[in-house]
Amino acid sequence: MKRRKVIGLFLLALGFLIVGCNPEAGADERKEQEVIVFAAASLAEAFTEIANQFEIEHPGSTVVLNFAGSQQLTHQLSQGAPADVFASANKQQMDAAIETGRVMEGSQQPFVRNQLVVVYPASNPGKLQNLTDLAQPGLRLIVAAPEVPAGQYAQSFLSAAGQNDSFGPTFRNGVLDNIVSYEENVRAVLSKIALGEADGGIVYISDLNGQAARQVGSLAIPGELTMVADYPIAPVNNSDENDFALSFIEFVLSNQGQEILQSFGFLPVRSSQ
Amino acid sequence: MRTKQDNEQSNRHRPVKQATSIWRDPWWISSLPFLLFLAIPLVAMLLSISPGQLIENLSKPQVRQAITISLKTTTITTLLTIIFGTPVAYILARRQFPMRRAIDTLIDLPIVLPPAVAGVALLITFGRQGVIGGWLSDQGIHIAFTQIAVIMAQTFVAAPFYVKAATIGFAAVDAEIEQAAAIDGAGTWQSFRHVTVPLAWAAMLSGAVMTWARALGEFGATILFAGNYLGRTQTMPLAIYIGFELDLDVALTLAAILVVLSFLVLFVVKGILQRELYAVGR
Backbone φ, ψ for residue A103 (5° rounding): -120, 135
Q: Say if A161 is an interface residue toward chain B (CB within 8 Å).
A: no
Per the domain annotation, does B45 fall within a domain? Answer: no
Q: Say if B137 is an interface residue toward chain A (CB within 8 Å).
A: no
Write down the domain spans for chain A: 22-111+231-263, 116-220
Per the domain annotation, does B1 fall within a domain? Answer: no
Quickly state the pLDDT bin for A27 (edges 50, 70, 90): very low
Rounded to two decimals, the pTM is 0.76
Per-residue pLDDT tens for A136-183? 999 999 999 988 888 988 999 999 998 888 888 899 999 999 999 999
Residue A201, pLDDT > 50, answer yes
**b/e for B109-131, b at 16 or more Cβ within 10 A?**
ebeeeebebbbbbbbeebbbebe
Distance (Å, whole) CA A49 – CA A264: 10
Chain A positions touching B228 (Cβ under 8 A) are: 145, 181-184
> Containing domain of residue B195, as a range?
52-281
Which carries the bigger pLDDT value, residue B5 or residue B32?
B32
Distance (Å, whole) CA A231 – CA A108: 10
What is the average per-residue pLDDT within A98-120? Answer: 90
pLDDT above 70 as % of chain A: 84
Contact A180 B229 (CB under 8 A): yes
Chain A contact probe: residue of B219, B228, B240, B250 with most A CBs at under 10 A: B228
CB within 8 A of A223, min separation 6: which ones?
Answer: A115
Residue among B86, B90, B109, B91 nearest B162 (CA): B86
What is the predicted pLDDT for the residue at A238? 64
Q: Is B14 helix (H, G, I), strand (E, B) or coil?
A: coil
Quickly state the pLDDT bin for B250 (edges 50, 70, 90): confident
| Number of compact structural domains in chain B | 1
What is the predicted pLDDT for the residue at B2? 44
Per the domain annotation, does B251 fall within a domain? Answer: yes
Per the domain annotation, does B150 fall within a domain? Answer: yes
Q: Say if A125 is an interface residue toward chain B (CB within 8 Å).
A: yes
Contact B228 A10 (CB under 8 A): no
CA dihedral over A66, A71, A74, A75, signed as positive or negative? negative
Chain A contact probe: residue of B28, B48, B145 with most A CBs at under 10 A: B145
Quickly state the pLDDT bin for B11 (edges 50, 70, 90): very low
Per the domain annotation, does B226 fall within a domain? Answer: yes
Within 10 Å of residue B184's Cβ, how many Cβ atoms?
A: 10
- Please tell me the least confidently modeled range out of A13-17, B70-74, B110-114, B128-132: A13-17
pLDDT above 90 as % of chain B: 57
CATH of domain A22-111+231-263: 3.40.190.10
Fold that domain A116-220 belongs to in CATH: D-Maltodextrin-Binding Protein; domain 2 (3.40.190)
H helical segments located in chain B: 2-11, 26-47, 51-58, 61-94, 100-112, 115-126, 131-138, 147-172, 175-183, 188-191, 197-216, 220-225, 236-246, 248-281
What is the average per-residue pLDDT within B89-106? Answer: 92
CATH of the domain at B243: 1.10.3720.10
| β-bridge pairing A141-144 and A200-204 | parallel
Contact B29 A145 (CB under 8 A): no
Contact B227 A183 (CB under 8 A): yes
What is the predicted pLDDT for the residue at B82? 97
